[in-house]
Amino acid sequence: MGKTLNAIQTSVADALIDIGAVVFTPHAPVTFKSGIRSPVYVDNRRLPFWPQHWITVIDGFQSLIALRGILFNVIAGIEAAGIPHSAALGYAMRMPSVFVRKQPKEHGMRSQIEGGDVRGQRVLLIEDLVTTGGSSLAGVDALRAAGAIVEHCLCITSYGFPEAQAAFDAAGVRLHVLAPFSEIALQASRRGLFGEAELAVLEAWSRDPHGWLTPESGPASSQEES
């Protein structure tokens, strides 16, 4: 019997927490490419260093694909953070995979889609994390320009910003999230990693991510976003 959506979300959220991928830094907020300042970030780039937890994520992708009945012929990952997960999923499912450059190469064949011809193929896009959706949807545009059919995007986690969902809806792409940040925060709270004060900061940020800023916030670091 396949996993339920709740079971998938919980197992992936726990895996990310276990490997220290969830970092709460309200006094040194991360600044996303969009300019959003955040008191927390999820670093999914840690996953390949923790293979047993990475397996949980790849298995979660397969379970979610089955649960949602997603049909595809090729898997694609966005440069750079999405590539390990798309390649691992392709290997696990014995499916062809490609990766999408942010920009076409300036030499050689000047390709933006690497690995194979996607013309007429139904492509499933894989991302590690979605914030505003800009990078992911740029990849969708590149795939469609190459002749691919792209209707679904799977990501490990998303911060759940309404603007991201609106952007995917406008592009005609359905976004599927293994572990929404709300689920990660819930599991972290249950495990004692987030107390009432931390949850209050996260709730304030979720209500107004563009305007959020604490008086104590120090210099911001940056995080690549999708």
Please tell me the distance from the alpha carbon of residue 119 to that of residue 127, in angstroms, as a whole number: 21
Which tops the pLDDT comparison, 67 or 26? 67
Phi, psi of 174 (to 5 degrees): -90, 125
Give 153's strand partners: 125, 175
The pairing of strands 113-114 and 122-130 is unpaired
**CA 110 from centroid of its chain's CA atoms:** 27
Residue 208's closest CA among 44, 41, 39, 43?
39
If one counts the domains in the chain, the total is 1
Domain of 181 in residue numbering reads as 5-223
Q: Indicate yes or no: pTM above 0.75.
A: yes
pLDDT digits (tens, 9 = 90+) for 120-138: 999 999 999 999 999 999 9
DSSP string, 29-44: -EEETTS-EESEEE-G
User: How many other C-beta atoms can be found within 10 angstroms of the C-beta atom of residue 80?
Assistant: 13
| One-letter identity of residue 187 | Q
CATH of the domain at 197: 3.40.50.2020
pLDDT digits (tens, 9 = 90+) for 160-218: 999 999 999 999 999 999 999 999 999 999 998 888 888 889 988 988 898 887 444 44
Please tell me the distance from the alpha carbon of residue 122 to that of residue 71, in angstroms, as a whole number: 8
Please tell me the distance from the alpha carbon of residue 216 to that of residue 98, in angstroms, as a whole number: 44
Please tell me the distance from the alpha carbon of residue 29 to that of residue 41, in angstroms, as a whole number: 9
